[in-house]
Amino acid sequence: MKLKFNSALSLVAVGVVSALQTVSAAPVYEIQNIEDYDLNGTLASTINGYGMFVNQQNQLVGISQGKKKLEVNDDDNSIIDIEDGISPEQLVTYSINAPIEANNFTFIAEGNGATGSWLPIFDSVFGTTAPEDTVEDNPETVNSINASYYGINNADLRVGSYTGPEQKVAYTGETAGQEYWYYREFEERAFVKKADGTDIAIAPPYTTYTKDDTDVVVGGVSVAAAINDNNQVTGYGSTALANSSIERLNACITGEVYPVDVCVQLNQYPDASGFRRILYQTRAMVWQLDDSGVTPTELPLGLTSTSDVVFTAQGLGINNDGTVAGRSHVYRNNDTDKLAFDAAYWKKDSNGTYQYHWVKMTDDQLSSIAYDINDNGILVGSYKQYIEGYSRDKFFYVDTNQASPTFVTPNDFYQGISDRSSRPRDINNKDQVVGYIEATSEKEKPRLKSGFLFDKNSDEFYDLNELLVCESKGYTQEGNGDWTRNKVEVTDGNGDVLFYESEIRIVEANSINEDGTIVGTAFIRKPSYQFDSNGDLVIGDNGKPLFLLNADGQPVTAFIPRMVVMQPSNSGTACTVKESDNSGNANYERKGGASLIWLLTLPLLWFRRRKV
């Protein structure tokens, strides 16, 4: 049963009617990238991994983030083994006074990969260096380019965005010992990587500011968010500077403290609150890739711009007909007092020209966004609305083939519009949708999240964690047939043998192909190390780090994110073991980026991309 938002049917009545419906058999899934109850879900020497998109050939693209901080034992100058627990992350800060180091790395994986099934393999973009090959004392190995993959089509064309490499200029300031200032020519640029290894950069329409006889390379912003099987890429790009940014650039040109490029970089970096001082007008884009190169098409904004206000439109998903899903600023119902940032789609008319279409919202929805559209014309997205006094995101879908398309909010676990936030990420051509939903109900605290699978045809909504076989959740079967948590043995710096229990939890599903293969992000439990007041690992007598212990003398554990691959099971059954948490375990709180965080942001002014 589907619930249209303005339905007069009460939630109680909806629940009663829904309870009478016949529930179809739930699918069963197995995690494919498990080895010894651990997930092969990130690159070597990185902490976090995210599965972004999978094509029909079971090829996926992903992002690793959080370069591991290597610790050295002062006694014999040997590298400490910190693979058993949650490794400390190398602190990466961006400053014009220090060399630029990257923290995002691209990888690929395949179901039948030459080096192993679904094993993450570093995939260099524009000469990036694998995190495990970086030697801090060797500048030639230090990677300054942050790169992210967001999509892949069935011809193995991969799309994403990357930053410019580090540039430097002689230092003329007053700090003793400093030789250079450091900067980039751009902070975000779309690209396509071909199967033969060729990298193709896609510049935005606007990259250079000119004043009098001075040209200033500001770089602009472009992101390639998705690609279809006709090699059409959608995303967004900068088309002009905001007026406030022009004033800042003029000050860079006339200023005497920094070289112009360094001054521009200083304004490109975010301040302590995350605000960037150089802002752009940004529009949704489609780029056609063929043998002659890349042909850009700028998609229309959802309103007529008559002021100097910064307006934004973004393409985020594209089907094989070339229809684009995304969002744009719009005056709702042409009322200039009701400016909103709303879900939209762009479809070609009979003349082959893209036309803007607003996904109509009511005044109750604060904003909305569309993430994807399939070849059947079914668009998926989410809107933001106050529910029970709190701002929540709710998953919706729209059949764009209708004469007057109306968004539908599917029932989730509670047979109605619950107050649990949910966002879709992807829809395949079988009308199966994946995304995430909040799995707990605390009002004032962060809520645990679960990946979901929604089947539009049967109107069934599933928590992916409830569809997994027991082994995929961290259980092992005893001789008597009972399932218990797998116990992991670790040795700490005192030589003590300790134990903690395995646990794997699907927290977001980002992509699903026609065969039902799902990729996304899972949390996996790892033990936490002890740190001293300086933030350094506490090392024991045997040269290994000490674990943080609970009241029972066993390691305190926390969740870390890893890429996960799930496929329908041919023989397994869904695990029915009742979940329970151990005292002393703590949920991992993600700091910094998360999967799909970057794609949905303008790096200059927007909130984090595909926030989880």
Closest by CA position to 27, among listed 314, 478, 363, 454 = 454
Hunting for tokens 């030639």 — which residue is that?
A: 140
Tens-place pLDDT, residues 349-366:
999 999 999 999 999 999
Ranges of beta strands (E only) in 111-211 are 121-122, 147-152, 158-162, 167-170, 180-183, 189-193, 199-202, 208-211
Which tokens is 155 given? 């011809």
Q: Reduce the secondary structure of 495-553 to three states and give it as a string.
A: CCEEEEECCEEEEEEEEECCCCCEEEEEEEEEECECECCCCCECECCCCCECECECCCC
The fraction of the chain above a pLDDT of 70, given in percent, is 88
Rg (Cα) of the chain, in Å, rounded?
A: 25
Closest-CA residue to 311 (of 413, 383, 386, 239) = 239
The pLDDT, as a whole number, for residue 80 is 66
Describe the crossing of helices 260-268 and 243-254 by its angle, rounded to 10 degrees: 150
Which segment of 272-281, 303-312, 510-519, 590-599 scores lowest on mean pLDDT?
Answer: 590-599
Q: What's the confidence (pLDDT) of residue 77?
A: 52
In this prediction, residues 212-222 reach a mean pLDDT of 95
Query: Does the structure show a pLDDT above 80 at 102?
Result: yes
**Cα distance between residue 165 and residue 163, in whole Å:** 6
* 87 CB-near residues (< 8 Å, 6+ apart): 47, 68, 69, 529
Q: Comparing 141 with 515, which gets the higher pLDDT?
A: 515
Among positive and negative, which fits the CA dihedral 428, 432, 433, 436? negative
456 or 605: which leads in pLDDT = 456
Longest pairwise C-alpha distance within the chain: 83
- pLDDT at residue number 2: 44
Q: Is the pLDDT of residue 606 over 50?
A: no
pLDDT of 18 strictly over 70? no
Give residue 330's pLDDT. 98
Q: Is residue 439's pLDDT more than 80?
A: yes
Q: Which band of pLDDT confidence, cut at 50, 70 and 90, is reported for residue 82? A: confident
Q: Is the pLDDT score of 482 beyond 90?
A: yes
Tell me what pLDDT residue 394 has: 97
Range with lowest mean pLDDT among 4-8, 107-111, 389-393, 496-500: 4-8
Q: What pLDDT, on a 0 to 100 scale, did the predictor assign at position 68?
A: 87
Give pLDDT, residue 575. 96
Estimate the share of the chain in helix, then strand, then coil, as percent rounded to the nearest 5. 10, 40, 50
> Where do we find the tokens 């279409």?
357
Mean pLDDT in residue range 51-67: 97
What pLDDT is stored for residue 113 in this prediction? Answer: 84
Mean pLDDT (the chain) is 88
Contact between 19 and 11 (Cβ < 8 Å): no
Phi-psi region of 273 (alpha: psi -120 to 50; beta: other; left: phi over 0): alpha
Helix (H) or strand (E) holding 194: none
What number is the average pLDDT over the span 395-423?
A: 92
Q: Residue 483 pLDDT more than 80?
A: yes
Give the per-residue pLDDT at 12: 36
Q: Which two tokens stand for residue 360?
A: 């109509």
* 316-330, 441-455, 568-582 — most confident range: 316-330
What are the b/e assignments for 133-161, b being 16+ CB within 10 Å? Answer: ebeeeeeeebbbbbbbbbbbbeebbbbbb
pLDDT attached to residue 600: 46
CA distance 423 to 442: 18
| Residue predicted with more confidence, 319 or 441 | 319
- Please give the residue that has the higher pLDDT: either 80 or 11: 80
Q: Which two tokens stand for residue 415?
A: 């047979």
Q: Is the pLDDT reported for residue 587 higher than 60?
A: no
The type of residue at 58 is N
With bands split at pLDDT 50, 70 and 90, how would you rate the model's confidence at 17?
Answer: very low
Both tokens of 2, joined, read 């589907």
Token match 């007041």: residue?
Answer: 533
User: Which segment of 171-175, 218-222, 448-452, 587-591 scores lowest on mean pLDDT?
Assistant: 587-591
**Does residue 589 register a pLDDT over 80?**
no
Give the pLDDT band of residue 71 (cuts 50, 70, 90): low
Q: How confident is the model at residue 164 (pLDDT cuts 50, 70, 90)?
A: very high
Per-residue model confidence as pLDDT tens digits over 22-54: 345 789 999 999 999 999 999 999 999 999 999
Q: Are the C-beta atoms of 370 and 344 separated by less than 8 Å?
A: yes
- Of 192, 208, 323, 188, the C-alpha closest to 261 is 208
Whether the per-residue pLDDT at 231 is higher than 50: the answer is yes
- pLDDT band with cut points at 50, 70 and 90 for residue 81: low
| Band of residue 580 on the pLDDT scale cut at 50, 70, 90 | low
The mean pLDDT value for 482-506 works out to 95
Q: What is the pLDDT of residue 75?
A: 53
Strand partners, 527: 557
At 305, is the pLDDT very low, low, confident or very high (cuts 50, 70, 90)? confident
pLDDT band for 79, please (50, 70, 90 cuts): low
Q: What is the pLDDT of residue 376?
A: 98
Question: What pLDDT score does 245 carry?
Answer: 94
- The counts of H helices and E strands in the chain are 3, 39
Quick check: helix, strand or coil at residue 377? coil
pLDDT digits (tens, 9 = 90+) for 323-334: 999 999 999 999
Share above pLDDT 90 across residues of the chain, in percent, rounded to a whole number: 75
Residue 485 CB coordination number (10 Å)? 18
Residue 570: pLDDT above 80? yes
Burial of 168 from C-beta contacts in 10 A (0-12 / 13-18 / 19+) = middle
User: For residues 21-38, b (16+ Cβ closer than 10 Å) or e, as one string?
Assistant: eeeeeebbbbbbbbeebb
Q: Write down the pLDDT at residue 11.
A: 37
Q: How far apart are CA 553 and CA 557, in angstroms?
A: 12
